């Protein structure tokens, strides 16, 4: 598509957008009496308007039934998480029995590593992206130490080549192959939080399994953002949060995926809890853990119904929109337009003040573009905020912006670039 840097063109794209009506189903922060230009779904998604109603329904059930709410009412709480599984399965490319919702992201990562990081003999190393989100680094370091290894030896971090900002798939798979005899686990983010690079998860999974290692993913920035096929790719496990692109509230409940090939594997360790016990025998209260079939068997604690209600309210919008593929189609157009506009800003000022480090290929990214500011980065970011553009600043010089297809418009993207130009002209 040939783009144009003018508001009328952006509005024409919005008029033709089949998803344009979903914008009205979200609450926007206000700036000077108008909706802010919210481009921060990579950090916290907006609140769907129906969230309050869905949570209120569960508060009413609690008021009316008390403890009997677990078994009574229109939506008994005991099986409530089952409502979410089919919707989540469609988003991450999994069978309903392969996913469940529980805990928070890093807690789930630790629980899954109990099962899938099984160092033995010379196979004790973990390979992961360098510069991963700190929680992933801390979790991996602590798991390695728990098993008696030194992270400096047991953790292999992969970084881009000199002068490059993102990892090449061939370098990832080559490193996996080189270290094959020592690898116990290959663990990557789906999308790198800093650069916005979407990794080739299929290729990574195939390389990891060829090396004889388990393969797992942190999909915090990928779930609800890009199409995934966890079951078909054969990934062993994955976990994610729900408060970014899935719009399920600050600190919202996390999700996990465990491939069906592991559901009956008695050799896998797990930290068990009552909520993961076989449902048809759970209330016998007897010793000896018997896991529920599927990912539900990795559950530990009682379901937090209010968090699940917020998640359910948000997930329904994905289904109403036609699914993740439909959303991703608009996402690619939004980021392509934003990329065009940023390049045009550079052309107008005669300098590459703003360098996009996220891959240009839309197949290698999701909603997020990460922009290095050559100078005055924080001042430029603060100018955007003063104009009502809510993005994300990362030291030392990166602005992250993420137009989300469910609620962002092409006009949002146009105005964000307009204010970037104004800031560039002000802070020469």
Please state which architecture CATH assigns to domain 55-321.
3-Layer(aba) Sandwich (3.40)
Average of per-residue pLDDT across 334-356: 97
**Can you give the pLDDT at residue 378?**
96
pLDDT of residue 428 exceeding 90, the answer is no
What pLDDT sits at residue 1?
78
pLDDT of 119 higher than 90: yes
Q: What is the pTM of this model?
A: 0.97
Fold of 7-35+323-426: 3.90.1150
| Average pLDDT of span 180-207 | 98
pLDDT tens-digit map of 347-381: 999 999 999 999 999 999 999 999 999 999 999 99
Q: Taking the CB of residue 110, how many other CB atoms lie within 10 A of it? A: 18
Q: CA-CA distance, 130 to 127, in Å (whole number)?
A: 9
Structural contact between residues 155 and 140, judged by C-beta atoms closer than 8 angstroms: yes
pLDDT of residue 272: 95
Running DSSP on this structure, what letter comes out for residue 415? H
pLDDT tens digits, one per residue of 251-302: 999 999 999 999 999 899 999 999 999 999 999 999 999 999 999 999 999 9
Name the band, by pLDDT with cuts 50, 70 and 90, for residue 134: very high
pLDDT over 90 at 169, yes or no: yes
Q: How far apart are CA 275 and CA 288, in angstroms?
A: 14
Q: What is the pLDDT of residue 200?
A: 98
Distance of CA 152 to CAs 163, 318, 428, Å?
Answer: 24, 42, 43
Q: Is the pLDDT of residue 106 over 90?
A: yes
pLDDT digits (tens, 9 = 90+) for 292-328: 999 999 999 999 999 999 999 999 999 999 999 999 9
Domain range annotation of the chain? 7-35+323-426, 55-321
């Amino acid at each position: 598509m040939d783009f144009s840097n003018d508001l009328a063109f952006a509005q024409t794209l919005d008029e033709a957008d089949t998803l344009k009506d979903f914008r009205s189903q979200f609450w926007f922060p206000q700036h000077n009496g108008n909706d802010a230009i919210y481009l921060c779904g990579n950090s916290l998604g907006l609140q769907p308007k129906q969230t309050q109603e869905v949570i209120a329904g569960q508060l009413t059930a609690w008021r009316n039934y008390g403890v009997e709410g677990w078994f009574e009412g229109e939506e008994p709480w005991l099986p409530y998480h089952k409502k979410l599984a089919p919707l989540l399965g469609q988003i991450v490319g999994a069978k309903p029995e392969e996913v469940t919702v529980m805990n928070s992201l890093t807690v789930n990562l630790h629980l899954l590593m109990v099962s899938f990081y099984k160092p033995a003999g010379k196979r004790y190393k973990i390979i992961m992206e360098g510069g991963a989100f700190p929680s992933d680094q801390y979790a991996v370091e602590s798991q390695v130490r728990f098993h008696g290894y030194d992270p400096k030896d047991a953790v292999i971090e992969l970084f881009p080549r000199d002068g490059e900002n993102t990892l090449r798939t061939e370098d990832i798979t080559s490193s996996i192959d080189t270290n094959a005899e020592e690898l116990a686990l290959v663990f990557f983010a789906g999308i790198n939080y800093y650069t916005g690079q979407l990794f080739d998860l299929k290729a990574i999974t195939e390389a990891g399994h060829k090396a004889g290692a388990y393969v797992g993913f942190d999909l915090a920035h990928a779930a609800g953002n890009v199409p995934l096929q966890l079951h078909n790719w054969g990934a062993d496990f994955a976990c994610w949060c729900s408060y970014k692109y899935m719009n399920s509230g600050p600190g919202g409940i996390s999700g996990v995926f465990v491939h069906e090939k592991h559901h009956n594997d008695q050799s896998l360790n797990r930290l068990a809890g009552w909520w993961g016990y076989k449902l048809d025998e759970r209330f016998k209260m007897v010793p000896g853990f018997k896991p529920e079939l599927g990912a539900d068997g990795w559950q530990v604690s009682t379901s937090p119904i209010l968090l699940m209600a917020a998640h359910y309210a948000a997930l329904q919008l994905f289904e109403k929109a036609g699914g993740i593929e439909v959303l991703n189609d608009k996402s690619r157009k939004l980021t392509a337009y934003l990329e065009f506009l940023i390049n045009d800003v550079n052309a107008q000022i005669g300098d590459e003040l703003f360098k996009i480090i996220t891959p240009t290929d839309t197949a290698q990214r999701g909603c997020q573009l990460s922009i290095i500011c050559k100078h005055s980065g924080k001042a430029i970011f603060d100018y955007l905020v003063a104009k009502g553009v809510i993005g994300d600043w990362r030291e030392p010089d990166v602005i992250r912006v993420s137009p989300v297809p469910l609620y962002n418009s092409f006009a949002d993207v146009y105005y964000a670039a307009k204010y970037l130009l104004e800031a560039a002209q002000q802070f020469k």
